[in-house]
């Protein structure tokens, strides 16, 4: 039976750190059971550690998991949360603590997955408050914050207060792309221990697709390379024909850029495809949420007081629509970003071919096209095009309107 860290592909060093920390945390609990309420080992070296616990292997109250998209930040955070709740203190994968944490039902593990573009202060305050309570399972209160880079400034401050004076049994696990001040405030960063994750190699991703998801080895290999180290994306490509079709449409872009008009057409097509993909991904949950809220509000009631209830209901429905709109925007940006990453892979292939670099192409199925591009553009032209794609991603990240950024990119790709 694989333990909770089994799905952390190609991250031996991080797994090692987390295993040692989980063991240290279990030792803290044992020491506490023998004596009084234990205090965690603080991040600073000046603090004394309880006897028998190696401070270097230390456990601490706040962690940041960093790494490129798909490297497994949230997978690592969840696995560590499970190891903290594991009755054996190892993350065995079999005990109730491991099971319920991995299944998302452990009473002392709270998972924050932002649905909009940012996590608000209200949500964070409520969370911090609940996290301060005594763990019902007798181990730790764990708060996992995915996409901690999407905290609003006020929410970040609320979190910082909790991290500065943490309740003795509370652990915060933050996930962010990096520890750059744009992602995580310097003050929060200074209170956390960082677990860096790397982009897993394609062979490791393929291996996990075969072992865990039962995907045929040749498909797994292709998908792992095409997904450029993004485990979730690789699984989708291997399994979902729609995802493969969308990828093919994106990779057809370089061929279609024959003039200014074609460049604008390609921009429209890319934006609309991202919108359609996002719409499909949120449509179901939107409808379910709306139906649930309407039922809760007693929609369709005709009795006395129904009119008054409906007036209050309008406000709640509006609030729900606002939340759903924010989630749709985020889904659109994510879909567009995936398309841009695919496109960047194509120009990277053209560049490495022009340089005759001995590396495997990202997209084996468009390798011939990339080779033709390499010949036509030379390394310099391929690099300029790759930079145009990366600049488009950066611009969208910096809140430039996606259509404008994509149009500028397409023109740059066409002109070279
Ligand atoms: Zn366990």
pLDDT of residue 300: 53
CA of 235 to the centre of ligand 1 (A): 26
Tokens of 24: 């240290």
CA of 188 to the centre of ligand 1 (A): 30
Compute the distance between CA of residue 42 and CA of residue 47 in angstroms, rounded to an integer. 6
Three-state DSSP class for residue 173: strand
- pLDDT > 90 fraction of the chain, expressed in percent and rounded: 51
What is the pLDDT averaged over residues 271-280?
86
What is the pLDDT averaged over residues 14-23?
94
- The Cβ-side half-sphere exposure at 278, using a 13 Å CA radius, reads 23
Neighbour-count burial for 318-341, b at 16+ CB within 10 Å, e otherwise: eebeeebeebbebbbbebbbbbbb
How far are the Cα atoms of 5, 233, 271 from residue 61, in angstroms, in the given order? 20, 31, 42
Residue-wise pLDDT for 137-176, tens only, equals 889 999 999 889 888 888 899 999 999 988 889 999 999 9
Compute the distance between CA of residue 121 and CA of residue 116 in angstroms, rounded to an integer. 13
pLDDT of residue 24: 92
Three-state DSSP class for residue 145: strand
CA of 168 to the centre of ligand 1 (A): 22
Q: What angle do CA 327, 328, 334 make, to 5 degrees?
A: 90
What average pLDDT does the structure give for the chain?
Answer: 86
CA of 81 to the centre of ligand 1 (A): 11
Residue-wise pLDDT for 30-81, tens only, equals 887 665 444 554 444 334 444 444 444 578 999 999 988 778 899 999 999 9
CA of 371 to the centre of ligand 1 (A): 50
Does the global pTM surpass 0.75?
Answer: no
Tokens of 114: 């932002």
Rg of the chain taking only CA atoms, in angstroms: 24
Concatenate the DSSP letters of all residues of 333-364 into one string.
Answer: HHHHHHHHHHHHHHHHHHHHHHTT-S---S-G
CA of 347 to the centre of ligand 1 (A): 45
Residue-wise pLDDT for 128-147, tens only, equals 888 888 898 889 999 999 88
Compute the distance between CA of residue 321 and CA of residue 160 in angstroms, rounded to an integer. 30
CA of 97 to the centre of ligand 1 (A): 6
What is the pLDDT averaged over residues 385-397?
95
């Amino acid at each position: 039976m694989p333990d909770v860290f089994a799905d952390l592909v190609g991250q031996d060093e991080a797994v090692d750190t987390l295993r040692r920390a989980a063991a240290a945390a279990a030792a803290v609990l044992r020491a506490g059971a023998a004596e009084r309420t234990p205090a965690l080992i603080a991040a600073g070296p000046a603090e004394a550690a309880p006897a028998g616990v190696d401070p270097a292997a230390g456990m601490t109250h706040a962690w940041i998991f960093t790494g490129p998209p798909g490297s497994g930040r949230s997978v690592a955070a969840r696995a560590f949360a499970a190891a903290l709740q594991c009755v054996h203190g190892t993350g065995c994968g079999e005990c109730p603590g491991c099971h319920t944490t991995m299944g998302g039902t452990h009473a002392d593990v709270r998972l924050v997955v932002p649905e909009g573009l940012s996590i608000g202060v209200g949500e964070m305050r409520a969370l911090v408050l609940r996290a301060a309570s005594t763990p019902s399972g007798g181990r730790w209160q764990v708060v996992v914050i995915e996409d901690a880079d999407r905290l609003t400034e006020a929410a970040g401050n609320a979190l910082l207060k909790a991290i500065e004076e943490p309740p003795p049994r509370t652990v915060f696990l933050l996930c962010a792309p990096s520890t750059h001040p744009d992602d995580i405030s310097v003050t929060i960063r200074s209170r956390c221990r960082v677990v860096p994750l790397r982009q897993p190699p394609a062979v490791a991703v393929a291996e996990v697709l075969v072992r865990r998801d039962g995907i045929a080895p040749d498909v797994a290999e292709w998908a792992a390379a095409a997904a450029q180290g993004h485990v979730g994306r690789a699984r989708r490509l291997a399994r979902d024909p729609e995802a493969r079709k969308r990828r093919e449409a994106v990779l057809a872009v370089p061929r279609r850029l024959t003039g200014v008009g074609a460049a604008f057409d390609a921009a429209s097509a890319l934006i609309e495809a991202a919108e359609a993909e996002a719409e499909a991904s949120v449509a179901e949950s939107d409808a379910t949420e709306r139906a649930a809220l309407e039922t809760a509000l007693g929609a369709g009631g005709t009795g006395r007081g129904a009119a008054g209830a409906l007036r209050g209901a309008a406000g709640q429905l509006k609030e729900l629509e606002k939340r759903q709109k924010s989630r749709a925007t985020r889904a659109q940006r994510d879909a567009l970003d995936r398309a841009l990453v695919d496109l960047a892979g194509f120009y990277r292939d053209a560049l490495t071919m022009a340089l005759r670099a001995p590396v495997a192409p990202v997209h084996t199925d468009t390798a011939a096209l990339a080779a033709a591009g390499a010949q036509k553009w030379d390394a310099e032209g391929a690099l300029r095009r790759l930079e145009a794609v990366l600049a488009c991603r950066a611009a969208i990240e910096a809140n430039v309107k996606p259509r404008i950024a994509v149009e500028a990119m397409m023109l740059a790709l066409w002109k070279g």
